């Protein structure tokens, strides 16, 4: 089996090796501070008894599971604390693809590249369904793509890279069709705290027994390096997922879980609101620049990415490298996200230099 290394490592290395100053809009690493309680929690943890440095329960620290259960209004027994949302996605996808339901995984194009990588790593066959032009879920086409060969559907809302927030009724239609074909649906909600539209509704509200919801705190608490996420499984699927998690990871880092628990307990909604407000300001500054550069673009309803298309300058790897070298701005080629947006470039707005990046793009495309 061939495992493909995700292309962003390649681009980040290219940008880092460039001669001039480059504004990194490739990675999804928040550039702002975590909640204060994260640092405090770590300090406190460092002074705790050595017994606190030993294995936590494999499926996660109990208080943390209970905290998340309360916030998401589910039974704590359905939750597994994972090494980021990434691992929760892996557990959910593995559960779907190891069944004898079929080996097809329906994915929405443009697609977060790790879903494609995981599908092939798990021996599945991807079936890409194009999103609507505005990035929202085309539920009619998605339902049509679900057949008896479908083991799994993976959805992501708010969406990376389109910024779309899916309508709950569109998700419901997909979940019901999947159920008719005995297929699971993994719904990745890692950007749930970055709903800028006020319309996001979790797939948990569907209370469907073929839905696995995943999320984490990498983005919401600006701690991608901590590796804390979770999966919420239907009761019938949780035990097998716990076993896979245990056999793969033993458990998840205890200091990270402890600090996240502290942050849940001690931070207020104002922390998340400030992050959303900051992003809204950046979106405005960046899209004003894109207007001035004559680009077509998506204004995100959620998450922190903007997709842009420049006339006569398709978002190929070569052109993205040209932008790094000649404009000093690093984005991601659209082809990384499937075929539907191959002409586009994705820019992550997790840099305080968003306005400067926009100015650089305007100057570059003015001069072309």
Ligand X SMILES: Cc1ncc(COP(=O)(O)O)c(C=O)c1O
| 102 contacts ligand X (rule: CB under 6 A) | no
150 binds ligand X (CB under 6 A): no
**If DSSP codes are grouped into helix, strand and coil, which group holds residue 65?**
helix
CA distance 208 to 295: 41
188 binds ligand X (CB under 6 A): yes
* By the rule CB under 6 A, 112 interacts with ligand X: yes
CB of 191 to ligand X, least distance (A): 7
Residue 194 in contact with ligand X, rule: CB under 6 A: no
Position 110 contacts ligand X (CB under 6 A): no
The distance of closest approach from Cβ of residue 89 to ligand X in the complex, given in angstroms and rounded to an integer, is 6
Q: Could you tell me which stretch among 79-87, 165-173, 250-258, 294-302 binds ligand X (CB under 6 A)?
A: 79-87
DSSP 68-107: HHHHHTS-GGGEEEESHHHHHHHHHHHHHHTSSS-SEEEE
The only residue of 105, 107, 111, 190 in contact with ligand X, by rule CB under 6 A? 190
Any residues with CB less than 8 A from the CB of 140 and at least 6 apart, and which?
none
Among 41, 56, 86, 302, indicate the residue that binds ligand X (CB under 6 A): 86
Q: Is the peptide bond before 110 cis (omega within 30 degrees of 0)?
A: yes
What does the alpha-carbon distance between residue 9 and residue 262 come to, in Å, rounded to a whole number?
A: 32
| Residue whose beta carbon is closest to ligand X | 84
How many Cβ atoms sit within 10 Å of the Cβ of residue 5? 8
Which value, in Å, is the radius of gyration of the alpha carbons in the chain? 20
Find the part of the chain contacting ligand X (CB under 6 A) among 43-51, 81-89, 146-154, 353-361: 81-89
Q: Which of 156, 177, 251, 351 binds ligand X (CB under 6 A)?
A: 156
Q: What is the DSSP letter of 20?
A: S
Residue 112 CB, nearest approach to ligand X (Å): 4
Residue nearer to ligand X on the CB measure, 68 or 362: 68
Q: Does 8 bind ligand X (CB under 6 A)?
A: no
Q: Where are the beta strands (DSSP E) in 115-170?
A: 125-130, 150-156
If you ran DSSP here, which 8-state letter would residue 327 be given? Answer: I
Nearest-approach distance from CB 230 to ligand X, in angstroms:
9
Q: Out of 157, 218, 262, 351, which residue is the one contacting ligand X (CB under 6 A)?
A: 218
316 binds ligand X (CB under 6 A): no
Residue 32 vs residues 215, 229, 257, 296: alpha-carbon distances, Å: 20, 19, 20, 28
Stated as kind and residue range, the H or E segment containing 189 is none
Minimum distance of ligand X from residue 7's CB (angstroms): 13
Spell out the residues 6+ positions from residue 56 whose beta carbon is closer than 8 angstroms to its own.
251, 252, 254, 257
Candidate residues 30, 35, 85, 361; the one interacting with ligand X per rule CB under 6 A: 85
CA distance 85 to 190: 7
Nearest-CA neighbor of 205 among 181, 232, 237? Answer: 232
Per-residue contact string for residues 323-352; x = within reach of ligand X by CB under 6 A = ------------------------------
Among 28, 34, 289, 300, binds ligand X (CB under 6 A): 28
First to last CA, the chain: 43
Which run of H or E residues covers position 12?
helix 7-17
* Residue 84 found at the interface with ligand X (CB under 6 A): yes
216 is a site residue for ligand X (CB under 6 A): yes
Q: By CB under 6 A, is residue 24 in contact with ligand X?
A: no
Choice between 24 and 188, CB closer to ligand X: 188
Question: Residues interacting with ligand X, by CB under 6 A?
Answer: 28, 84-86, 112, 156, 160, 188, 190, 216, 218, 224, 229
């Amino acid at each position: 089996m061939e495992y493909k290394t995700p292309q962003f490592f390649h681009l980040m290395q290219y940008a880092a090796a460039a001669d001039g100053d480059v504004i990194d809009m490739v990675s999804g690493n928040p550039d702002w501070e975590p909640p204060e309680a994260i640092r405090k929690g770590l300090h406190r943890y460092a002074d705790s008894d050595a017994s606190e440095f030993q294995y936590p329960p494999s499926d996660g620290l109990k208080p943390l599971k209970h905290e998340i259960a309360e916030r998401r209004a589910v039974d704590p027994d359905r939750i597994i604390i994972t090494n980021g949302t990434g691992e929760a996605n892996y557990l959910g996808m593995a559960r779907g693809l190891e069944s004898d339901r079929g080996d097809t995984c329906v994915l929405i194009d443009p697609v977060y590249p790790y879903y494609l990588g995981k599908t092939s790593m798990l021996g599945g066959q991807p079936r890409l369904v194009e999103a609507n032009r505005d990035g929202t879920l085309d539920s009619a086409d998605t339902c049509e793509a679900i057949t008896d060969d479908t083991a799994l559907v993976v959805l992501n809302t708010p969406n990376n890279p389109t910024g779309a927030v899916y309508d709950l009724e569109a998700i419901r239609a997909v979940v019901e069709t999947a159920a008719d074909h005995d297929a699971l649906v993994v719904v990745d909600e890692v950007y749930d705290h970055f709903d800028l539209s006020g319309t996001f509704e979790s797939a948990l509200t569907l209370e469907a027994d073929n839905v696995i919801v995943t999320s984490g705190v990498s983005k919401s608490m600006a701690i991608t390096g901590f590796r804390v996420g979770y999966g919420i499984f239907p009761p019938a699927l949780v035990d097998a997922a716990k076993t896979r998690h245990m056999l793969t990871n033993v458990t998840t880092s205890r200091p990270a879980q402890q600090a996240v628990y502290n942050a849940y307990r001690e931070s207020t909604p104002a922390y998340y609101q400030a992050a959303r407000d900051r992003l809204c300001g950046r979106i405005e500054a960046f899209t004003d620049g894109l207007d001035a550069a004559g680009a077509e673009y998506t204004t995100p309803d959620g998450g922190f990415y903007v997709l842009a298309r420049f006339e006569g300058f398709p978002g190929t790897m070569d052109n993205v490298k040209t932008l790094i070298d000649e404009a000093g701005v690093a984005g991601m080629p659209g082809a990384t996200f499937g075929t539907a947006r191959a002409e586009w470039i994705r820019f992550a707005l997790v840099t305080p230099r968003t306005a400067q990046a926009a100015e650089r793009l305007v100057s570059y495309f003015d001069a072309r």
